[in-house]
């Protein structure tokens, strides 16, 4: 009799775990799809970046050059923002000092504002990539790796070797400034 009761409890526990797993997968899928479809920034601009060059040079020849300072270090690295709505809106918010938390491969910080998105599954992330996760989390990658996550491309650090030699594991304060402000 006790073996039958124990067996029923094990089956109930397994069914409960399976149900929770299915719900978690469903929530993740719902979040990904709704986040992609609801990608408005503060100004209500949709994430569609039609006509913009997502990978770098602006079509009119102008680029948004920035510098990134590592707090407590005498390190300043150069970066270039891509020609898209998210990068343009971020550029307008500079200078910006962020306490960046650490995860494997990346430093990240949630912004106090949202940016328009144009998420894509990038497949491979390279050290030095600057991307937006969701509509308000700025991520700076310090390692290259393969990923299935979707990001909005923001820019790229030009002198990645300087950045990599100065970056430490753990939280770090980074200051993002327009390069033109320093001239």
- Predicted local confidence at residue 6, as pLDDT: 61
Which segment of 19-28, 44-53, 142-151, 162-171 scores lowest on mean pLDDT? 44-53
* Residue partners of 123: CB distance under 8 A and separation at least 6: 146, 147
Q: Which domains does the chain have, with CATH numbers?
A: 64-182 (2.40.100.20)
- Predicted local confidence at residue 74, as pLDDT: 74
CA distance 167 to 174: 10
DSSP state of 127: T
Higher pLDDT, 33 or 152: 152
Question: What's the chain's average pLDDT?
Answer: 76
Each residue's pLDDT tens digit, 111-135: 999 999 999 999 999 999 999 999 9
- Kindly tell me the burial class for residue 178, based on how many C-beta atoms sit within 10 Å of its own C-beta (0-12, 13-18, 19 or more): middle
Choose from 4-8, 95-99, 177-181 the range with maximum mean pLDDT.
Answer: 95-99
Written in H, E and C, the secondary structure of 50-61 is CCCCCCCCCCCC
Each residue's pLDDT tens digit, 45-90: 333 333 334 444 334 446 799 999 996 667 899 999 999 999 999 9
- Predicted local confidence at residue 61, as pLDDT: 46
Kindly provide the b/e burial profile for residues 65-99, where b requires at least 16 CB atoms within 10 angstroms of the residue's own CB.
bbbbbbeeeeebbebbbbbbbbbbbbbeebebebe
CA distance 109 to 171: 10
**CA distances (Å), origin 120, targets 28, 147, 148:** 16, 11, 10
- Predicted local confidence at residue 9, as pLDDT: 66
């Amino acid at each position: 009799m006790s073996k039958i009761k124990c067996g029923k409890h094990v089956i109930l526990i397994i069914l409960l775990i399976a149900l929770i797993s299915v719900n978690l997968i469903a929530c993740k899928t719902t979040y990904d799809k709704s986040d992609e479809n609801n990608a408005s920034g503060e100004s209500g601009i949709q994430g569609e970046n039609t006509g913009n060059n997502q990978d770098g040079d602006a079509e009119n020849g102008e680029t948004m050059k920035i510098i990134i300072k590592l707090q407590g270090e005498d390190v300043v690295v150069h970066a270039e923002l891509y020609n898209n709505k998210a990068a343009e809106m971020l550029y307008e918010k500079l200078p910006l000092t962020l306490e960046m938390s650490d995860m494997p491969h990346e430093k990240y910080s949630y912004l106090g504002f949202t940016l328009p998105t144009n998420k894509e599954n990038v497949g491979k992330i390279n050290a030095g990539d600057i991307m937006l996760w969701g509509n308000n989390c700025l991520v700076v990658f310090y390692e290259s790796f393969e990923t299935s996550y979707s990001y909005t491309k923001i820019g790229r650090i030009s002198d990645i070797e300087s950045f990599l030699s100065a970056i430490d594991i753990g939280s770090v304060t980074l200051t993002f400034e327009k390069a033109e402000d320093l001239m």
